[in-house]
Amino acid sequence: MPWRGGNKRIGSRRAGAGLGLAAALFLLAGSGCVTTMFPFLGNGTEPPILPPPAPTPYPETFGVQMSRMLEQIHKLEDERKTLTNRIQRQDLALGEKDQLLNQSAAELEKSLETLAKTRRDLEENRDELTRARLKLEQLEKSDRAAFQSILESLEKIGGPVPKIPDLPSKVPEFVPKKSGGGN
């Protein structure tokens, strides 16, 4: 066990050296030598190189700190409620706009269907008018031929007939009047 005793001596020397250093620093601090050797510590006559440490944020008692924290929590809760209400209003406005958009889309679809039906009806009417025009031209040709044969028959039976002005060669185009404008 000799090594155990040796450690005790070393431990006691270290403790004694630490106390001696602390005593020396205490004596030097009183004389002002420490401030010249360690300028960051400073003294009352010279301004310190480093700024003093900042005060703690809440130097008050625990109760005051808790009341401040509760006040902050209540402010944050009020702000959260305000933002929640704002989000709800925005959601309602968005829902209304979405509903209007859907309604407009349905009306547009209905208008497009009506427009397509009107186009089909116009095409059918145009085709019908073209067929009627062709039929009218055929009737005109057959009537012209019948009229010409009647004239020739009359000339053979009764002699020359005074000249009747010729009918127009072509049937005039039928242009329907515009409706709804009083034109």
Domain boundaries along the sequence of the chain: 13-52, 67-163
Do 34 and 28 meet the contact criterion of CB atoms below 8 Å apart?
yes
Q: How many C-beta atoms lie closer than 10 Å to residue 76's C-beta?
A: 10
pLDDT tens per residue across all 183 residues of the chain: 444 544 444 444 554 555 566 666 565 555 555 455 555 555 556 666 777 777 666 567 788 888 889 999 999 999 999 999 999 999 999 999 999 999 999 999 999 999 999 999 999 999 999 999 999 999 999 988 888 888 888 778 877 656 666 666 665 566 556 655 544
Q: Identify the residue whose tokens are 């031209």.
A: 137
For 155, phi then psi, to 5°, come to -65, -40
Give me the pLDDT at residue 124, please: 93
Give me the pLDDT at residue 43, please: 54
| DSSP 8-state secondary structure symbol assigned to residue 106 | H
Q: Identify the residue whose tokens are 């209540």.
A: 74
Tokens of 110: 């209905």
Give me the pLDDT at residue 47, please: 64
C-alpha distances in angstroms, 178 versus 116, 129, 130?
21, 16, 19
C-alpha distances in angstroms, 162 versus 53, 149, 154, 158, 171?
135, 16, 11, 11, 25
Element (H, E) at 142: helix 62-158
Phi-psi region of 60 (alpha: psi -120 to 50; beta: other; left: phi over 0): beta
Structure confidence by residue, pLDDT tens digits, 68-108: 899 999 999 999 999 999 999 999 999 999 999 999 999 99
The alpha carbon of 123 is separated from its chain's Cα centroid by a whole number of angstroms, namely 43
Tokens of 109: 């679809």
